[in-house]
Structure 1
Amino acid sequence: MDEEGTRRPGRRGAMALGAGLLLGGTPAARAIATADVPPPRYTPESGARLRVLRPARFIEPDEAIFNANTRRFTARTGIEVRVDYVNWDDMPVQVAVAYNTGQGADVIIGFGADPHLYAEKVTELTDLAEYLGAKYGGWYDLAQVYGRKHRSNAWLGLPMGGTTGPVVYRTSWVREAGFDAIPGDLGRFLELCRVLKRIGHPCGFALSHAPGDAPGYANWLLWSHGASLVDEEGKVTLDSPATARALDYAKAMQDTMVPGTMSWNGASNNRAFVAGEIGLTQNGVSIYYSAKTSKDPAQNAVAADTEHAEMPRGVAPKAPETALTLNAMVPRHTRVPQAAKEYLRFMMEAEQYDPWLSGCLGYWSQPLKAYAESAVWSSDPKLAVYRDAMDTPFYEGFRGPISAATGAVAENWIVVDMFARVATGQQSPADSMRDAQRAARRWYKA
């Protein structure tokens, strides 16, 4: 896959490339409002070279613009940078190897809770985070949850963006099912999915070990029924009447789905949707992007018939969705921490960040509030639901503190597997709930 980008000599060129990659034309560049805040003074180490480890892209501009921005950093500083892209499924292992061996990448861009798993092995980024927050209108709540140590002002990670999972659906098929829009009521949503299956356009949601997709669906099931992994103090609360209701609902939803969802990977629902095998799923912007930018007129027609909406709220006060968050870390084992911090600062500044945000069509929605005014969000009304992905009270490990236990529960698929066992008929809701409660407790007591 193409990794090439175009070097951009200045802000105007940077803005133009990002805008040029947008769907449906090139919106006028919009200046990002910033405060006049002096940046931290980093002094890159003599002869510094950087190795960056990050997840692979789902849409081409993510990687192309990231690489182009990296080359601009090298042109400005003389610091050579190598970026290694890793499949999402392999990221937890790669991150663990780097920290447990004390060698490898100088900048690790992992996922949400990763800095908290390795809190004693990361370099504090408080000065950089406070500067960026002061300059760009402050950090969204989700960024603060994942970036800062619990009940502390110390930043362990630097959130770079988050991808959320609203409903992605075929407008004509939902109308054929008798619905003008996606209902916010859980009972009506289930009825919609039942009718879609009856008319040959079933839904599809992953309860496999598909990164991003499966946790997003499982957490939605929990939160929309008022359940959570833990309470505010970190006590495991999976064994509850609310979780039981969520498990019953998951079983009913599974009966409406296309066959095979239990073996889906991270790209399976994308492929099923664009192939017309399903009429509704939960996903980031990648499905719409790939169909819209395809050279196949049939795929363009799919994009024209595609729309996005919040997942039904159920009893939740806001859309019960979180954002799978890219979270940058500087390991303590690096010999070039000053160069690593300067690289992250450079990548988050408007000259670089806004073209990346725009080119990704908001696939990685902004963690800093000033970027909510980026031209990308007015370039296509179908993107609007992604704009506030990180403005949410929900997160992995909701309602408790982010800790190593939070990440361990996620990496061991405890919540996802709890739902999968019930959805497939392997266990009753009561038994699966108790098993998940015990499994989560082991990590929270460790």
Structure 2
Amino acid sequence: MEPISRRRAVAGALGAGVLVAAAPPPAASAAIAAADVPAPRFAVERGARLRVLRPAKFVDPDEAIFNANSRKFAEETGVEVRIDYVNWPDMPVQVAVAANTGQGPDVIIGFGADPHLYADKIIELTDLADYLGAKYGGWHELAQTYGRRFNSRAWLGLPMGGTTSPVVYRAAWVKEAGFDGIPNDLDAFLRLCQGLKRIGRPCGFALSHAPGDAPAYANWLLWSHGVSLVDENGKVSLDTPATLRALDYARALQETMIPGTMAWNGASNNRAFVAGEIGLTQNGVSIYYSLKTAQDAAQNAIAADTEHAEMPYGAAAKAPETALTLNAMVPRYTRAPNAAKEYLRFMMEAPQYDPWLTGCLGYWSQPLKNYGASAVWSSDPKLKVYSAAMDTPFYEGYKGPITPATGAVAENWVVVDMFARVVTGQQRPADSVREAVRAAQRHYRT
């Protein structure tokens, strides 16, 4: 349910070509269509060894199956693989150190805009991305946004999957609050949350520095009110009446929440939901996965009452959600660029990728369209809302170009803090907007 500690990550890392023991991954779905496309030739360097850096698990099979697939790669190629799993909040620092010192992992699986932050320090992956897209039905919109250099067909990163954050809720409690499901209207959604508080089953959303959860909530507040961080040309566009309405709405919604959300980390809402302290939150599939697979009848009963739905659209034409995306990069300093690219190709092929997708219960939803036919999406109707996580026009830095400024604004919590200052009473909405605009402009002007 929560990322493993750094100490445990190092202790559990893969070293000297011997991967952590794990159960064999489930078989790939027979339904995955694959075109007859010749694979690119990546001549693996003699004596190549790979060190891989990636975020730690939120669901156990993420690491177990990733390890098993990596072991399989090592057995087939003779390339030793070591994987370091790192706590999510520590990832930006780890990636920056590697990029700025010119030494470290041969494959870095970072988040979203990371390849654009370090575009001059990584090698292009266009040949690999074009091959995978041609073979597996093309890339979803969000994968193209995060993978390609802006206004170019050149791929800087290779998106491996994304976890979105729809509404996770207790159906019985929502009904007790007077609603049959999650309304798509913002005013009705506020009334639902007020009703949940009234019956002692409040909602909970993070506006702390909780990776994944807080940006998902803050961006939803913006996008559902028709606001974007920047316009199509990259000009900061927060200073609008709609932003003030979004801040007022956030303040009203905060009043319906369980106390303590401003100190939440990435696992806090998971714990609160499982403990029955909240009846509604916004999250990936990890909450449902932990409840469904628990060896505890009480938790299984909560899973039976747990449902998922898209966040209310408000002013948006599609669900105003993006996906926290795993985005792989190959640094220029690596001595084994071909081995690194071959490793990524191997991990994205159906015999490896679909068991990972399925074993994680869709936690990292597919970037390649043909994987939408995976059996995981028909195995449980409650997972359906996660199946199109990367089929979205929304992204960090929407609506502008993905640039280093995009990542810098996200990593400095500019949008999250804009809302946090208002809901905690530190600033009036207009003042908080001005501070956010100044902070965003500093990054977009450099």
TM-score normalised by length of structure 2: 0.95
1:30 offset after TM fit, Å? 3.0
Pairing 1:208–2:208 present: yes
Question: Aligned partners of 1:97 and 1:261: how far apart in 2?
Answer: 31
Match of 1:14 among 27, 35, 46: 27
Q: Which amino acid aligns with 2:304?
A: A
Q: Which amino acid aligns with 1:14?
A: A
Given that 2:53 and 2:86 are in contact with CA atoms closer than 8 Å, whether structure 1 keeps it comes out as: yes
Question: Aligned partners of 2:81 and 2:421: how far apart in 1?
Answer: 44
Given that 2:35 and 2:134 are in contact with CA atoms closer than 8 Å, whether structure 1 keeps it comes out as: yes
Partner residue in 2 for 1:4: 21
Q: 1:280-334: CA deviations, max 9, x gaps? A: 0000000000011111111111101100000000010000000000000000010
Question: Aligned partners of 2:21 and 2:316: how far apart in 1?
Answer: 43
Q: Which amino acid aligns with 2:51?
A: R
Given that 1:171 and 1:307 are in contact with CA atoms closer than 8 Å, whether structure 2 keeps it comes out as: yes
Partner residue in 2 for 1:128: 128
Partner residue in 2 for 1:117: 117
Question: Aligned partners of 1:384 and 1:5: how far apart in 2?
Answer: 28
1:7 offset after TM fit, Å? 4.4
Partner residue in 2 for 1:329: 329
Aligned structure 1 segments of 4 or more residues deviating by more than 2 angstroms: 1-4
Question: Aligned partners of 1:294 and 1:36: how far apart in 2?
Answer: 41
Partner residue in 1 for 2:345: 345
Partner residue in 2 for 1:293: 293
Partner residue in 2 for 1:189: 189
Question: Aligned partners of 2:30 and 2:324: how far apart in 1?
Answer: 27
Partner residue in 2 for 1:25: none
Partner residue in 1 for 2:357: 357
Given that 1:166 and 1:309 are in contact with CA atoms closer than 8 Å, whether structure 2 keeps it comes out as: yes
1:100 offset after TM fit, Å? 0.5
SS of the residue corresponding to residue 152 of structure 1 reads coil
Partner residue in 2 for 1:48: 48
1:383 offset after TM fit, Å? 0.1
Given that 1:291 and 1:300 are in contact with CA atoms closer than 8 Å, whether structure 2 keeps it comes out as: yes
Question: Aligned partners of 2:258 and 2:396: how far apart in 1?
Answer: 27
Question: Aligned partners of 1:421 and 1:283: how far apart in 2?
Answer: 23
1:6 offset after TM fit, Å? 2.9
1:257 offset after TM fit, Å? 0.2
Partner residue in 2 for 1:283: 283
Given that 2:24 and 2:65 are in contact with CA atoms closer than 8 Å, whether structure 1 keeps it comes out as: no
Q: Which amino acid aligns with 1:4?
A: A
Question: Aligned partners of 2:110 and 2:69: how far apart in 1?
Answer: 19
Q: Which amino acid aligns with 1:5?
A: A
Question: Aligned partners of 1:431 and 1:444: how far apart in 2?
Answer: 20
Question: Aligned partners of 1:271 and 1:314: how far apart in 2?
Answer: 28
Q: Which runs of 5+ in 2 are unaligned?
A: 5-11, 13-19
Given that 1:168 and 1:282 are in contact with CA atoms closer than 8 Å, whether structure 2 keeps it comes out as: yes
Question: Aligned partners of 1:266 and 1:132: how far apart in 2?
Answer: 32
1:93 offset after TM fit, Å? 0.3
Question: Aligned partners of 1:4 and 1:413: how far apart in 2?
Answer: 38
Given that 1:285 and 1:363 are in contact with CA atoms closer than 8 Å, whether structure 2 keeps it comes out as: yes
1:14 offset after TM fit, Å? 3.2
Question: Aligned partners of 2:92 and 2:86: how far apart in 1?
Answer: 10
Question: Aligned partners of 2:21 and 2:435: how far apart in 1?
Answer: 48
Q: Which amino acid aligns with 1:293?
A: T
Aligned identity (percent) is: 77
Partner residue in 2 for 1:65: 65
Given that 1:7 and 1:72 are in contact with CA atoms closer than 8 Å, whether structure 2 keeps it comes out as: no
Question: Aligned partners of 1:287 and 1:368: how far apart in 2?
Answer: 25
Given that 2:202 and 2:278 are in contact with CA atoms closer than 8 Å, whether structure 1 keeps it comes out as: yes
TM-score normalised by length of structure 1: 0.95
Partner residue in 1 for 2:79: 79
Q: Which amino acid aligns with 2:250?
A: A
1:5 offset after TM fit, Å? 1.7
SS of the residue corresponding to residue 281 of structure 2 reads strand
1:56 offset after TM fit, Å? 0.2
Q: Which runs of 5+ in 1 are unaligned?
A: 16-28
Aligned ranges 1:292-441 → 2 under 5 Å = 292-441=292-441
Question: Aligned partners of 1:359 and 1:222: how far apart in 2?
Answer: 33
Question: Aligned partners of 1:419 and 1:408: how far apart in 2?
Answer: 18
RMSD of Structure 2 on Structure 1 (CA): 0.9
Question: Aligned partners of 1:211 and 1:201: how far apart in 2?
Answer: 25
Question: Aligned partners of 1:30 and 1:42: how far apart in 2?
Answer: 27
Question: Aligned partners of 1:30 and 1:156: how far apart in 2?
Answer: 31
Given that 2:126 and 2:155 are in contact with CA atoms closer than 8 Å, whether structure 1 keeps it comes out as: yes
Question: Aligned partners of 1:192 and 1:214: how far apart in 2?
Answer: 21
1:31 offset after TM fit, Å? 2.8
Question: Aligned partners of 1:387 and 1:32: how far apart in 2?
Answer: 14
Q: 1:404-443: CA deviations, max 9, x gaps? A: 0000000000000000000100000000000000000000
Q: 1:114-148: CA deviations, max 9, x gaps? A: 00000000110000000000000000010000000
SS of the residue corresponding to residue 27 of structure 2 reads helix
